[in-house]
Amino acid sequence: MSENALKGNALIGKNRWTIILPAVFIMYTISFFDRVNIGMALPHITAEMGLSSVEAGWLGGAFAWGYVATQFTAGWLALRFGSRRIIGVSLFLFGACAMLTGLTRNFGELVAIRFLLGLAEGPIQAATAMFLAQWFMKPERGRAFGIWNLSLGAGAFLAGPISGWVLAHHNWRMMMVIEGAPAWLFCITWFYVVPKSIQAASWLSAEDRDYIQKDLAAEQSNYVKEKSDPWWTILKIPALWLMLIGYSLHSMLAYGFTLWLPTALKDYGTLSEFMVGLISGMPFLMTMVGIWYITRRSDKYNQERRLHAAIPTVLCGVALLTAAFVPLSYYWVQIALFMFVGLTMKMLVPLVYVRLTEILPTKKAVPAVAFVGACSNFIGQFGGPLVAGYLKHLGGGTDMTLAWGVLGLFSIVGGVLFALAVGREEHVWDMRQAFRVSSHMTVSARE
């Protein structure tokens, strides 16, 4: 623990870790659950509506178009209306869209409601990044963002067995309605539990509130010059573009893998509905382990973010590329490789946003998070499922070899690009910070 997070032997504002972070974790788990559970329903939707692999891929793509539309404006919305309010409103809206998915009657309506679901969920990522940056000090932010991003694995993991159980007793339409309802219930909880600001947190002592706010203000005071520049000057930072392209390529693997994994498992022809759901969720349980490990390690090793994100991204691509060429008669080997893909798949996500909030002042970091998140998520959510579906079609409609192989290559290239995203005072081959424990946390080099 950094000296900035400790005063004497007492943890500063420890209730933030038991109130704010659990609320964020549950909120984002519900959000990610409602966007990925379509994967479990996909084989049933495809059969009922007679969809081709390419049309099925469009269901993931439609979400991406809506998501990017509001994510581009998420930074402005969060700064204008407050991140707490934006998150609460989004909970209500995406819960409604998730339930309406079960009422669609044809492919056109399904694409339209997936688009609206993307619109509703778009602002959440940037708003959450801003929200946590306003509650947690820099030395503890890596772990805070890591706990937030554990929800990605939790949501995807829970979507598998829960959806599999519901599908074993009901149809996919009822599944969507049942699984959309928790967002409305938690919307009420969110506004009740989460204070409007640190000063409004009655469960923090006055001394702790003042200490945290002074620390956050001192961090922002280091960016006087950057505050005087317009936000769009972030577009002049080469490292931002390398991070964006690298993250986008890896996101194609992440979203293509998430959507098509249940279908690939079902194509084995030997697994029950529940087992397909359970095994579909297991890689994302590994995702939680991966995020927990990499964020703690990143904080411990000099708050180094670049290589901690890049190396697992390359390894993730290598694992999926290898899985692509495993014969189906050895499907258990392929499943083991899928577990490793899950372990490494989301390791870079919290580190991308932590790095942006550390190298830029809040007024630039929030638009930067929104810009990078919007572009990469759009490319990943639209391109990943669609490319995988098209390549599956080229493979005869049942073979995922080509799809998994290409997505794996995308991630390898993405990891290399992320490793190249260095600041002015950094060097590509300087790896010492990532492998040497230091008791003195260093500030990431500023672009």
Asked whether the predicted pLDDT for residue 197 surpasses 90, the reply is: no
Classify each residue of 275-311 as buried b or exposed e, where b means 16 or more C-beta atoms within 10 Å of its C-beta.
bbbbbbbbbbbbbbebbbebbebbbebbbbbbbbbbb
Instruction: Report the alpha-carbon distance of residue 205 to residue 252 in Å, rounded.
Output: 45
Q: What angle do CA 367, 184, 260 make, to 5 degrees?
A: 70
Banded model confidence at residue 406, pLDDT cuts 50, 70, 90: very high
Instruction: Report the alpha-carbon distance of residue 92 to residue 95 in Å, rounded.
Output: 5
Least confident of 152-166, 173-187, 405-419: 152-166
Least confident of 8-12, 27-31, 149-153: 8-12
Q: CB atoms < 10 A from the CB of 55, how many?
A: 18
47-56 pLDDT tens trace: 888 888 788 8
Candidates 1.10.600.10, 1.20.1250.20, 3.40.50.720, 3.60.110.10; CATH matching 15-435: 1.20.1250.20
351-368 pLDDT tens trace: 888 888 777 776 777 778
Asked whether the predicted pLDDT for residue 442 surpasses 50, the reply is: no
Instruction: Report the alpha-carbon distance of residue 376 to residue 227 in Å, rounded.
Output: 25
The per-residue pLDDT for 311 is 94
Least confident of 36-45, 129-138, 436-445: 436-445
Choose among 274, 440, 422, 430: nearest CA to 359. Answer: 422
- 366: exposed, middle or buried (C-beta count within 10 Å: 0-12, 13-18, 19+)? buried
Choose among 423, 253, 384, 274: nearest CA to 323. Answer: 253
118 and 63 Cβ atoms separated by less than 8 Å? yes
Looking at per-residue pLDDT, the higher value among 356 and 241 belongs to 241
- In the chain, pLDDT over 70 holds for what percent of residues? 89
Banded model confidence at residue 8, pLDDT cuts 50, 70, 90: very low
What tokens appear for 355 in the block?
A: 């790095």
113-141 pLDDT tens trace: 999 999 999 888 888 988 998 888 877 87
Q: Which amino acid is at 255?
A: Y
Q: Classify 287 in phi/psi space as left (phi over 0), alpha (psi -120 to 50) or beta.
A: alpha
Beta bridge partners of 11: 6
Instruction: Report the alpha-carbon distance of residue 212 to residue 220 in Å, rounded.
Output: 13
The mean pLDDT value for 102-112 works out to 91
Asked whether the predicted pLDDT for residue 383 surpasses 50, the reply is: yes
The mean pLDDT value for 9-26 works out to 84
Q: For the range 164-168, what are the long-range contacts, defined as Cβ-Cβ under 8 Å and sequence gap of 24 or more?
A: 164/40, 164/273, 164/274, 164/275, 164/276, 164/277, 164/278, 164/280, 165/274, 165/277, 167/40, 167/41, 167/44, 167/273, 167/277, 168/273, 168/274
The per-residue pLDDT for 224 is 56
Instruction: Report the alpha-carbon distance of residue 121 to residue 341 in Å, rounded.
Output: 25
How many residues in the chain? 447
What tokens appear for 200 in the block?
A: 């409004």
Asked whether the predicted pLDDT for residue 102 surpasses 80, the reply is: yes
Instruction: Report the alpha-carbon distance of residue 94 to residue 42 in Å, rounded.
Output: 19
Instruction: Report the alpha-carbon distance of residue 330 to residue 245 in Å, rounded.
Output: 34
C-alpha distances in Å from residue 176, one per residue of 107, 186, 256? 15, 17, 20
